Structure 1
Amino acid sequence: MDRTWAPTENPSATVVPGKMRSDREEVPGGFSKADADKAETMEARTRSQTTAFAAPGCQVYWPSPYEVCGAIKDKYNSLGGPNSFLLWPTSNEILNPDGVGAHSTFTNGPIYWSSWGGAHPVANHFFAAWQRHGWEAGYLGYPLTDEIPAANGGLRQEFDGAGIYWHLNEAYAIGGAIRDKWNIVGAEGGPLGYPSSDELSVAKYNGRYNNFENGTVTWSGQTGSLLLYGAIRDRWAQLGREDGALGYPLADEQAAGIAHFADFENKSTIWWTALTGAHDVPEFVIAPWRTAGAQDGDLGYPVTGPLTPAQNTAGITLQQVFQNGIVSLIGAERALIGTYDPTPDPFPEPDPPQQTQRAPQANTWPPPDVPSDYPTDEVVGGATNPAHPDYGEMQIRQGFYSGAWGLGFGQDKAEHKHQLRLVESIEFLLESRFYGPRSDPLLPGTDFWGRAMDLFCHTGWGGQECEEQQYRIAHAIYDPTNYETYHEAPGPFEPIGLVTAYCGGGNTPLSGTAICDSWVDSAFMNPVN
């Protein structure tokens, strides 16, 4: 039906059957004929008391049998009365429990009044948010405004203690120092967007925070208000936010080139880039990472958080993977770094090609120190390298190593001749972005290399510090040639794969030999391979 409302013309002071407005018009839903007739008699009575509708007078709005009075009536009329979104009155004026303010209810929400704030409707999502916080008795107190248009199609309403903001059918309260911080960065029109939570409490420092569409603002008396944006906020939240291991941020999230980062109370940091995502870096990993140049050095940005090794290799207690390498901690005073080094290593591939290509004197398989059924062609690992898509999955075969013949290939040769045992470490080298031809450029395949560093770490004046003690350059030689036999070992006519892995240059006593120091294997151990 048409909801256009108008006062009753010449309302009857008593109920006269057949002569009432309800006998001439359909009574709107939600009201009975008795309600409508009562309302008409009330209209007649209020009109006899005054000829104006200004406060402190009251008004009745047929067919609702309730009086709306004073400033609440004025606000209701200014909105359009029953023609407004509030529709009809559903109560008389009610004194609030605090004895200070008053309100009247309507079909779609109340109008609340206080002497300092005036009369304002609180409806729909705003009413639900206000209700969550205890109505006028809560920290929000009384409304100070009607709904006000805000950025990007939103609305806001001000209360004594805070504002409520509505956007995309959600309304949340925000106030105090958190709101001040939000306002500094552009409020709802800024990068944080609209609130996505009410103000929430945390145990540590009796703090508070609000989440937003694109971040968070956290506050405590000790830290003040600090902001974090989406991905860093999300990682921090996964770790327990303020009450978690990282504690509060020490400053707002900062930009650094293509990255963003935030430092935290426990001396950890979270770094984010669009390519790598957001990952926390603990204090004891930050120190060796900085020794290697941090994000601008060979390691680049973190691509995982801190990881506990699945196996206790060389006493490693914690690892973290970066774009171009790995940091591994051995207790509090030692760290290993495996990374990719752009500097070519002049140390040649061991076993001169003329030696490795000649047939052994025995000239028959197997060598005396290798079982005849040894699984030389078994694939024990593999890696891919974006710079060599033609290689596809680069295979690491079991291979063999014969001391009697002085020959071999694959993982066995890397382990037994050059002391690189771990398949994960060899895979890491094959993934290097630094590579070149083999020592004999006539031989097929590629030389991939990386740098292993052994660091001493300690607590200095500025916190945890690390210094490089020794380093080695390690190589992995890959040959894509299909083979039927290789050094007399039978093959499946598939790529030879890893020829060998060995060490070359460095500053340790073994430098200048092809034998790796025992720690090099652990430095290249990739926990995510």
Structure 2
Amino acid sequence: MDRGGLKWGEPTTDETATPDGVGRYNHFNEGGASIYWHPNTGAWGIYGDIRKRWAELGWERSYLGYPTSDEDDIDEGGRANSFEHGQIYWWPDTGAIDMRGVVIHYTGFYAHKESDWDQGSGSDEPYAIFSMVAPKVAPYSLRTKVYSGVDDNSSRPDLMELYRGPAWGIGIVVTAMEQDHGDPEKARQKIQSAWVANHEIGKFVMDFIPLVGPILSKLAGALLDDVMPSVGNSLAGFLNMGDDTIGTYAFTLKTKQLVMLATRTPNSVFKGIGYKLQSGMMKRGGAEYRVYLGVVPA
């Protein structure tokens, strides 16, 4: 038998019922590989260090449940299996890492400098709009609160969930704004419309419709580098709605970076803001702003 490029050899068990009495499995190669089947998930192969980690967790009785994909290639020379309730990722330099998924939070806003132009409004109160796209996820956007009383060197710790799901890759474009005469929610809606209609984003999402599991990681990694900078640039020049557009920054986060940030990277703190990622400087008209993100296991 040849499944996914692995020479399975002779089975070392008969087809056997799992402890729940519903699933079935066979072990191969003296217990080095297995195929597990469940009527709700189908039959999938698992082997090597990923299989070993799943066994340590308790097989299908673990929090992960049954496999829902074969072991497959992911970005940066890694391998992964999907399960009912999570994933196990593996790279040669990390070993097997199990998780339900990742959660990305916006954790704060820092004003290095406030704007020196205000369109006559008398106020420049900053806010940020985040636009997200991930495999098999429709593009969407979220907005922070409008921060009042911001001066030079002002810190605004905050917390807002931006994404929760598998670490197959995600693109995030942040647009830093200052409220003058406009409506921040209308600004978000206008960015959302541009985000959804962008040809590159549409191509990115459509390419993934027939696909599931680890293969998303490898394809997402190849597309994100091309898609995100061009989309970020298009959003930067898009707005003319009464509020000042200070700048944009595109985060391109692939599978290994997401997994390492969530499981192996300690938190940093800047001016009271906990974070694992910071944007580049977004600046215009004297304003200079950064935003900060956290990444944790789901």
Using structure 1 for the length normalisation, give the TM-score.
0.24
Structure with the higher fraction of residues in strand conformation:
2
Q: Which has the higher contact order (CA 8 A, sep 6+)?
A: 2
Query: Rg: which structure is higher?
Result: 1
